[in-house]
Structure 1
Amino acid sequence: MRITHLGHSCLLVEAAETRVLIDPGAFSDAWHGVKDLDGVLITHQHPDHLDPDRVPALLEANPDAVVRTAADVEEAVSLEGAQGVMPGAKFAVGRLQVQVVGGDHAVIHSDLPRVRNVGYLITHPEEPTVFHPGDALDTAPAAVDVLALPIMAPWSAMKEQVEFVRRFDGLKMVVPVHDELLADRGRELFARQITRLTGQEITWLRDGEPYEVNVSAPDRDISTQEFVSG
Structure 2
Amino acid sequence: MQLTKHAHACVTVEKDGTRLVIDPGTLTPDAAEAVAGAHAVLVTHEHFDHFDEQLIAAALEAQPELRVYGTAAVVAALGGHDGRVRAVAAGDTFTVGSVEVSVHGHRHAPIHADIPCPDNVGYLLDDGTLYHPGDAYGVPDAAVRTLLLPTSGPWTKLGEAADYVRAVKPERLIQIHELMLSELGQTSTARILGENGLTGLPITRVEPGTTIVL
Fold-level match, TM-score > 0.5?
A: yes
SS class of match (1:139): coil
Structure-1-length-normalised TM-score: 0.85
- Unaligned runs of 5+ residues in structure 2 are none
Letter in 2 for 1:201: P
CA shift in 2, pair 1:163/1:56, >3 Å: same
> What residue in structure 2 maps to residue 33 of structure 1?
33
| 1:184 aligned residue | 183
Counterparts of 1:200 and 1:133, CA distance in 2: 18
| 2:22 counterpart residue number | 22
Cα distance between partner residues in 2 of 1:118 and 1:187:
26
1:82 corresponding residue in structure 2: 85
Instruction: Tell me the equivalent position of 1:111.
Output: 114
C-alpha offsets along residues 124-178 of structure 1, whole Å, 9 cap, x if unaligned?
A: 6xxx611001011022342111111111121121111111111123x23211111
What value does the CA root-mean-square deviation take over the aligned residues?
Answer: 1.7
| Residue 173 (structure 1) aligns with | 172
> Do structure 1's residue 123 and structure 2's residue 122 form an aligned pair?
no
Deviation of the 1:76 alpha carbon: 4.1
CA–CA distance in 2 between the matches of 1:41 and 1:185? 31
Contact 2:104 2:121 in 1 (8 A): yes
Deviation (angstroms), 1:36? 2.9
Of 100, 117, 134, the match for 1:97 = 100
Contact conserved, 2:78 with 2:85, CA < 8 A, in 1? no
1:79 Cα deviation after fit: 6.8
Bigger strand share: 1
Q: What is aligned with 1:153?
A: 153
Q: Report how many residues are paired.
A: 209
Separation in structure 1 between the aligned mates of residue 185 and residue 2 of structure 2, nearest angstrom: 26
- Measured in 1, the distance between the counterparts of 2:190 and 2:210 equals 20
| Structure 1 residues 2 and 156, CA gap change in structure 2 (3 angstroms) | same
Larger mean CA deviation between 1-10 and 30-39 belongs to 30-39
Amino acid at match of 2:32: H
Which secondary structure state, in structure 2, belongs to the residue aligned with residue 98 of structure 1?
strand
Structure 1 residue 197 displacement after superposition: 1.1
TM superposition outliers: structure 1 runs of 4+ over 6 Å: none
- Per-residue CA distance 1:39-66 (angstroms, 9 max, x = gap): 1100000000001232222333433122
| 2:143 counterpart residue number | 143
Contact 2:108–2:118 (8 Å) recurs in 1: yes
**Aligned partners of 1:56 and 1:79 also within 8 Å:** no
- Secondary structure at 2:58 match in 1: helix
AA at the equivalent of 1:187? Q
How much does 1:105 deviate?
0.8
Shift in Å at residue 71 of structure 1?
A: 1.8
DSSP 3-state at the match of 1:92: strand
Partner of 1:58: 59
Which residue of the partner structure matches residue 43 of structure 1? 44
* CA–CA distance in structure 2, aligned partners of residues 57 and 104 of structure 1: 27
Letter in 1 for 2:207: R
| Partner of residue 68, structure 2 | 67
TM (norm. structure 2) is 0.91
**Counterpart AA for 1:65:** L
Amino acid at match of 2:10: C
Q: Distance in 2 between matches of 1:27 and 1:141?
A: 30
Aligned CA distance change for structure 1 residues 36 and 75 (closer, same or farther; 3 Å) = closer
Distance 1:212 1:150 in 2: 20
Give the fraction of aligned pairs with identical amino acids, expressed as a percent. 36
